Amino acid sequence: MRVLGIETSCDETGVALYEAGVGIRAERLASQIQLHAAYGGVVPELASRDHIAKLLPMVETVLADAQVDLGGLDAIAYTAGPGLIGALMVGGSLASALAYALKVPAIPVHHLEGHILACMLEEPAPEFPFLALMVSGGHSQLIEVLGLGRYRIVGETLDDAAGEAFDKVARLLGLPYPGGPELAALAERGDPRRFALPRPLKNQGLDLSFSGLKTAARLAIDACRGADGGLPDPARADVAASFQAAVVDTLTGKCRQALAATGLTKLVVAGGVGANRALRASLAELGRQVGARVYYPKPALCTDNGAMIAYAGWCRRAEGADKPRIVARPRWPLDELRPPP
């Protein structure tokens, strides 16, 4: 069975072809970083327009790369939410129209389920149940994953998502959008002990909070500004390193607590912040300490991509709509999902 996957929930256009028993046959990703950089963040209207311009040619390229023609597709999966409504509608409309014309099912996929399942495309793939640390630009959650569609959120952020905090502090440091990877690169040459930033909600349950940490980073930045208002270089890198260390420590501590509370022995890292090297190293060390196995997909499978949507669509192949319909849900709580019939 071959499933085409389409991701357009935010600022990346992703298309991939998954074939059961083979894996990802071809995939393409178009980033909109250049487009939004001038505005310091994603402009929803521009995101939709760019998806419109890129999507269909990318579908053609992926099919050509895989040497599969349209008739060789058995289902079309697309991100139906959560995400930007206009952006979701581009992917949903194209996927549904293609599926309708080809008389194959269109499968609406939950973006976060895609992130959770991305690790299944790697070797070795984890078996259920496991704990998932979902850290993306819009979400920060600890999820007990009991099986496909069986998700229990055991902790989540009370305010900003981890990726959002990275992006906001990066902006304060004068780094271009999207700040997360830029801040991480700057942190490599900074001193993580120079600024004692808070570890929010430490030992206080499994919920997370990043807005106080962001404010503490802002105060540290303001205190280091020179007479001209600029931030001298060692201080910039030191704030970046201290902030990253605070996020990494916090997430590692919460994972430690969540593993203990749930009794799970596998930890899966999902979402864009999962690409962070310091976080990956810290979670690997946690795994060694507590005897848990840690799985993180390669960085390209942590950030948004079409492969995870194609694969999640295959997992939900029994759910293709019997009547033509387009699903686009900007808000869609993960724990509303159920196992496939």
Q: How far apart are CA 129 and CA 147, in angstroms?
A: 6
12 binds Zn ion (CB under 5 A): no
Choose which of 155, 163, 297, 306 interacts with ligand KG4 (CB under 6 A).
163
297 binds ligand KG4 (CB under 6 A): no
**Cβ(302)–Cβ(110) under 8 Å?**
no
Q: How far apart are CA 237 and CA 231, in angstroms?
A: 10
Binding segment for ligand KG4 (CB under 6 A), chosen from 89-97, 178-186, 190-198, 253-261, is: 178-186
Bond into 105 cis (ω within 30): no
Distance from first CA to last CA of the chain, Å, rounded?
Answer: 18
For residue 40, give every residue at least 6 positions away whose Cβ sits within 8 Å of its Cβ, in sequence order, or none.
Answer: 171, 177
Residues 128-167 that bind Zn ion (CB under 5 A): 136
Residues 259-288 that bind ligand KG4 (CB under 6 A): 271-273, 275-276
Paired strand residues for 107: 77
Exposure string (b/e) for 302-318, b if CB count within 10 Å is 16 or more?
A: bbbbbbbbbbbbbbbbe
Q: Which does residue 144 touch among Zn ion, ligand KG4, none (CB within 5 to 8 A, set by kind)?
A: none
Instruction: For the CB of residue 341, give the shortest distance to ligand KG4 in the complex, in Å.
Output: 27
Q: How far apart are CA 111 and CA 329, in angstroms?
A: 10
Query: Which stretches of the chain are DSSP H helices?
Result: 33-37, 44-66, 85-102, 111-117, 162-172, 179-187, 211-224, 233-262, 277-290, 299-302, 307-315
Instruction: For the CB of residue 275, give the shortest distance to ligand KG4 in the complex, in Å.
Output: 4
Q: Which does residue 275 touch among Zn ion, ligand KG4, none (CB within 5 to 8 A, set by kind)?
A: ligand KG4
113 binds ligand KG4 (CB under 6 A): no
Could you give phi then psi for residue 119, rounded to 5 degrees? -65, -20
Residues 292-311 that bind Zn ion (CB under 5 A): 304
Choose which of 110, 303, 309, 320 interacts with ligand KG4 (CB under 6 A).
303
8 binds Zn ion (CB under 5 A): no
Q: How far apart are CA 95 and CA 279, in angstroms?
A: 35
Residues 118-157 that bind ligand KG4 (CB under 6 A): 136-138
**Cβ(309)–Cβ(281) under 8 Å?**
no
81 binds ligand KG4 (CB under 6 A): no
255 binds ligand KG4 (CB under 6 A): no
Choose which of 86, 178, 200, 287 interacts with ligand KG4 (CB under 6 A).
178
* Residue with smaller CB distance to ligand KG4, 105 or 272: 272
Choose which of 5, 108, 181, 297 interacts with ligand KG4 (CB under 6 A).
181
Instruction: For the CB of residue 18, give the shortest distance to ligand KG4 in the complex, in Å.
Output: 19
Using CB under 5 A, list all residues that contact Zn ion.
136, 304
Using CB under 6 A, list all residues that contact ligand KG4.
10, 136-138, 163, 166-167, 178-181, 184, 271-273, 275-276, 303-304
